[in-house]
Amino acid sequence: MSLMFAERMKNLGTETSFEVLARAKALEKQGKDIVHLEIGEPDFDTPGNIKEATVKALYSGYTHYVASAGIPELREAIAEYISKTRKIKADLEEVVVTPGAKPIMFFCMLACVNPRDEVLYPNPGFPVYESLINFVGAKPVPIPLREENDFRLDPEYVKEKITKKTKLIILNSPENPTGGVLTREDLKDLADCLADREDLIVLSDEVYSRIIYEGQHESITSLPEMKEKTLLLDGFSKTYAMTGWRLGYGVMRKDLAQKISQLMINSNSCTCAFIQIAGIEALKGPQTEPEKMVAEFKKRREIIVTGLNKIKGITCKKPRGAFYVFPNVKGTGMKSKELADHLLNRAGVAVLSGTAFGEYGEGYLRVSFANSVENIQKALNRIAVAIEKR
């Protein structure tokens, strides 16, 4: 007998990177050598001081339920960190800790967005945004990110698309998949469009805030009047190479924080207690390891951008943040998905089609440089040959 799934499941999307990883692993099982450039996580180990603090926490009783919004010491450390880095005054009651940053997106949609509301989101962009917008029955309104504009959104376009029905605007800077970074001017222009809207919220996804190569990270929450309207999402996965630990958080107005905590009570109860101690060590301990990681990414960025630009049919802009490049592959004459499949099957290089991030990703690939220089070089050579010999 086949199970009848709930109607809403028809609207839920997925993340293609997990699917491509599975295909790449299957090819490896057949004995093929694959270079993994589809990955969305740092290829570095979590710093030792964080691991040590966690082991200590395990042996000192952090093995039970804790407060659903997070243990006060971590919420306090996050409030201090956000106050300092975003130049706002955040306090503990405005922080909710979650298992990874992703639940903040989900909870934000559940808490704030009604069916038929409109949600603006970057496209190409993190695929979970569109998936969740559809899941809650809202209308997805894509904001195209264009290469000519360094993959930064155009505030004028956003202004045109805001209607009475707009409930949520999603921002992501530095951006996955393009590496685009919003400037303070962009954010000011956006904030101006929202000046007379008290009924609208901005979900500002800043998980790559520390992986930035030029200038500094800017957050919309630090602009006048914007803190009240912003749900800032950040976490530990990318900054501290802690993707498997599942630790993230949101910083938001208190009434919204209470709703998000209630969703935590109804889903996870709380975030793992000893992992939260790891979070305190990450924020308060030495920052040399994450800084070294960014320096290494910067070196690789040069190599991958230079290498891709030498390949016929490909041009590649230098991303200002995150650890992805988003090369234009229109000159190869192939569709993005066709090229990504060709590279995996023929060249043993796993990359993602730009369309895995929305329709405006056609003509591009997402290539991660969270891999060694040696593997990046190997991949570049293979891509060049695979495109030439096609």
Binding site for ligand PLP (CB under 6 A): 40, 100-102, 126, 172, 176, 205, 207, 235, 237, 243, 248
Please report how close the Cβ of residue 19 comes to ligand PLP at its closest, in angstroms: 14
User: Would you say 145 or 387 has its CB closer to ligand PLP?
Assistant: 145
CA atoms of 206 and 82, how far apart (whole Å):
11
Q: How far is the CB of 101 from ligand PLP (least distance, A)?
A: 4
Tokens 């109804």 -> residue: 266
Residue with Cβ nearer ligand PLP (144 or 313): 144
Instruction: Pick the closer one to ligand PLP by CB: 105 or 339.
Output: 105
Shortest distance (Å) from residue 381 CB to ligand PLP? 27
**54-57: long-range contacts, CB 8 A cutoff, minimum separation 24:** 54/274, 54/275, 54/277, 54/278, 54/281, 56/277, 57/273, 57/274, 57/277, 57/278
- Smallest gap from residue 310 Cβ to ligand PLP (A): 28
| For ligand PLP, the closer CB: 44 or 313 | 44
- For ligand PLP, which is the closer residue by CB, 41 or 147? 41
| Under 8 Å between Cβ of 339 and 367 | no
| Residue with nearest beta carbon to ligand PLP | 100
* Residue 1 C-beta: closest distance to ligand PLP, Å: 36
Q: Give the residue with the Cβ less far from ligand PLP, 208 or 384.
A: 208
Shortest approach of ligand PLP to residue 112 CB, angstroms? 17
